[in-house]
């Protein structure tokens, strides 16, 4: 749960790097929260209202952690636009997100694994 809250605390931070674990744990908790909100939305019969508000609330944190994840692999945040290419783009992005980050410092900052180790 801390991974989710840490990303929300960095609401609109697009600089720096994010570890794979930070990205995927945020992704997991985000999906769980979205499912809970969707169920609540269906029970209350306010169908698009709560899910829309939730999606809007986590849009910038999701974008920020995604850009930081791309930075960890040594890529610019603009690579996120690859996702608009049907079928191929999202698959390539998933590979980028799952790729281990650069073990040394890169243009986007120091290795987050090395920082977390101390």
Span 81-110, pLDDT tens digits: 999 999 999 999 999 999 998 888 888 888
pTM recorded for the entire structure: 0.86
Q: Give dist(CA 104, CA 113) in Å, integer.
A: 10
Q: Which stretches of the chain score pLDDT less than 50?
A: 118
Range of the domain at 8: 2-117
Number of domains in the chain: 1
Classified as helix, coil or strand, 98 is helix
Checking 108-114 for CB contacts under 8 A at 24+ apart, the result is: 108/15, 108/16, 108/17, 108/68, 108/71, 108/72, 108/74, 109/15, 109/16, 109/17, 109/71, 110/17, 111/17, 112/16, 112/17, 112/18, 112/19, 112/22, 112/72, 113/19
**How do the residues of the chain divide into helix, strand and coil, expressed in percent and rounded to 5?**
70, 0, 30
pLDDT the model gives residue 116: 61
pLDDT the model gives residue 115: 65
pLDDT the model gives residue 107: 86
């Amino acid at each position: 749960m801390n991974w989710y809250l840490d990303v929300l605390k960095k609401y609109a931070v697009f600089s720096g790097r994010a570890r794979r674990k930070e990205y995927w744990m945020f992704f997991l908790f985000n999906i769980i929260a979205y499912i809970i909100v969707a169920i609540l939305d269906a029970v209350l019969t306010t169908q698009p209202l709560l899910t829309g508000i939730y999606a809007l609330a986590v849009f910038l944190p999701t974008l920020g952690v995604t850009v930081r994840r791309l930075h960890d692999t040594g890529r610019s945040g603009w690579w996120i636009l690859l996702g608009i290419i049907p079928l191929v783009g999202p698959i390539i992005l998933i590979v980028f997100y799952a790729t281990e980050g650069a073990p040394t410092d890169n243009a986007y900052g120091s290795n987050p694994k090395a920082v977390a180790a101390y």
